[in-house]
Amino acid sequence: MLVREWAELEHLHPQTVWKWCRAGKMPVPVERTPSGMWLVHDPKYETPAPSDAKQSRTVCYARVSSADQKADLQRQADRLKAFALSMGVEAPEVVAETGSGMNDKRRKLNRLLSDPTVTTLIVEHRDRLARMNAGLVESALKAQNRRLIVVDDTELDDDLVRDMTEVLTSFCARLYGRRAAKHRAQAALEAMRGV
């Protein structure tokens, strides 16, 4: 399990647990992946592997917002697959999708979330799953004894600023576009009346 998850279960601060991992003072076995991430193997919380491998699937979910980012989508999928292999997953599935992270109109993700055989979902960044309320999705998965693994759980300020700018630009374009359309419609009506 991830350091953050274990720290939450043990009522510890994640920074303390990371310090213990680096110093070799963890009371339970830990493992460092090639990507530099720490995994905690606490027998108290580890669930035994299901007897039927078909009942439990690990899926890597990659997403980009637009079709012109196809190259980034492939690179993202490759990084996720490499991460899953480094975790010991024998044959990780990769699902790649192009769609907005601002709404729920993503068929492939909806299919994964509704499939109970998908016990582990791996995403590169939290915003690849959803721009907003990804924590709610994670809580829902936990309630079903499923888990979400975020490879890089750090929030980048540059991305947040860029996302906010994109949202504001979108809202402004819609607002001003409606006004312009209204004015064009009024001008067309006036032109018809004048003829």
Distance CA 121, CA 34 (A): 19
Instruction: Give the contacts of 149 (CB within 8 A, at least 6 positions apart).
Output: 2, 120, 121, 122, 123
Q: Of 35, 51, 56, 65, which residue is the catalytic one?
A: 65
The DSSP 8-state label assigned to residue 86 in this structure reads H
The partner residues of 25 in beta bridges, in order of sequence, read none
Distance CA 16, CA 4 (A): 10
Q: Is 65 a catalytic residue?
A: yes
Distance CA 54, CA 193 (A): 70
Residues serving a catalytic function are 65
